[in-house]
């Protein structure tokens, strides 16, 4: 399973130490790394299809101060899709109003026919990228129907319905940023935590540093703005529980990488 790290803050915070600890976990998650830092409605994306602990680029990057109000980072343990650059997270796409969406996903979409058509338009081969392709396509259709760009509340309500539809039978931990809101979701027990800071919030698959971490809200989509929880969605109750059939699917797919 992959690992996620995210930041939502009202002021720039230093993340060098947290990222060094986070990326040290790549010895067990060796199939690529990536991070996106946010500047309003723009994402600066850096990623490689190599283990983070072996990346000379990442080592040099973290040797200099890195402060940010918002970011998403990911280390990959491949389950669907080969270990190529196109399959490394995060994924970035713009909607029809040029809003920039950035997604990092930790999990597998085992039972989701709605994503199948997007394998023909995505750049890589991951089910994670297909989530973003589907999301953007549906958002664009909704915007065309109503004739204007969605508000922050509209976007959240749309995402809440989307998550409720996509989660049955699927492991869907993710961090998603839309240029304004950071969406946070987990439906797999003990796999996403939050640490509230005076000026922001941190999110991680495994607690990092010396902050006080608590489990993120479970089976419920949440949205943060500048480190503050602003929207809480439906408790859909679609917890993902490991099972033999899905484990067999992963074994077959991984053997094909």
Q: Residue 80 has what pLDDT?
A: 56
CB hemisphere CA count around 56 (13 angstroms): 0
Structure confidence at residue 20 as a pLDDT band (50, 70, 90)? very high
Q: Which pTM does this prediction carry?
A: 0.94
CB crowding 233-248: b at 16 or more within 10 Å, else e:
beebebebeeeeebee
Structure confidence at residue 256 as a pLDDT band (50, 70, 90)? very low
> Per residue in 145-170, pLDDT tens?
999 999 999 999 999 999 999 999 99
Contact 19, 6 (CB under 8 A): no
| Residue 245 clears pLDDT 90, i.e. is over it | no
What is the overall mean pLDDT for the chain?
Answer: 93
Q: What percent of the chain has pLDDT over 70?
A: 94
Q: Which residue has the tokens 């976990």?
A: 25
SS (H, E, C) the chain: CCEEEEEEEEEEEECHHHHHHHHHHHHCCCCCEEEEEECCCCEEEEEECCCHHHCHHHHHHCCCCCEEEEEEEEECCCCCCCCCHHHCCCEEEECCCCCEEEEEEECCCCCCHHHHHHHHCCCCCCHHHHHHHHHHHHHHHHHHHHCCCCCHHHHHHHHHHHHHHHCCCCCCEEEEECCCCEEEECCCCCCCEEEEECCEEEEECCCCCCCCEEECCCCEEEEEECCEEEEEEEECCCCCCCCHHHHHHHHHHHHCC
CA distance 70 to 226: 8
Using alpha carbons, select from 165, 164, 78 the residue that is nearest to residue 129: 78
With 0-12 / 13-18 / 19 or more C-beta atoms within 10 angstroms meaning exposed / middle / buried, residue 214 is exposed
Q: Both tokens of residue 31? A: 């199939």
Q: Which residue has the tokens 């973290």?
A: 62
Q: Residue 244 has what pLDDT?
A: 85
> Per residue in 100-139, pLDDT tens?
999 999 999 999 999 999 999 999 999 999 999 999 999 9
């Amino acid at each position: 399973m992959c690992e996620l790290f995210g930041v939502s803050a009202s002021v720039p915070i230093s993340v060098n130490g947290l990222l060094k600890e986070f990326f040290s976990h790549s010895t067990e998650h060796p199939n690529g790394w990536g991070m996106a830092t946010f500047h309003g409605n723009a994402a600066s994306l850096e990623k490689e299809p190599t283990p983070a602990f072996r990346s000379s680029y990442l080592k040099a990057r973290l040797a200099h101060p890195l402060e940010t109000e918002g970011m998403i980072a990911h280390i990959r343990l491949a389950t669907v899709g080969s270990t190529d650059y196109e399959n490394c997270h995060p994924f970035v796409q713009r909607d029809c109003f040029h809003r920039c969406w950035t997604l990092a996903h930790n999990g597998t979409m085992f039972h989701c026919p709605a994503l199948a058509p997007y394998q023909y338009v995505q750049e890589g081969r991951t089910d994670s990228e297909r989530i973003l392709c589907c999301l953007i396509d549906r958002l664009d259709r909704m915007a065309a129907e109503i004739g204007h760009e969605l508000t922050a509340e509209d976007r959240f309500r749309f995402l809440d319905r989307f998550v409720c539809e996509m989660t049955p039978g699927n492991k869907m931990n993710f961090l998603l940023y839309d240029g304004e809101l950071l969406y946070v979701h987990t439906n797999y027990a003990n796999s996403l935590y939050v640490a509230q800071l005076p000026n922001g919030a941190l999110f991680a698959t495994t607690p990092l540093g010396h902050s006080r971490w608590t489990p993120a809200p479970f089976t419920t989509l949440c949205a943060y703005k500048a480190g503050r929880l602003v929207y809480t969605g439906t408790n859909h109750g679609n917890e993902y529980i490991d099972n033999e059939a899905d484990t067999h699917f992963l074994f077959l797919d991984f053997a094909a990488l």
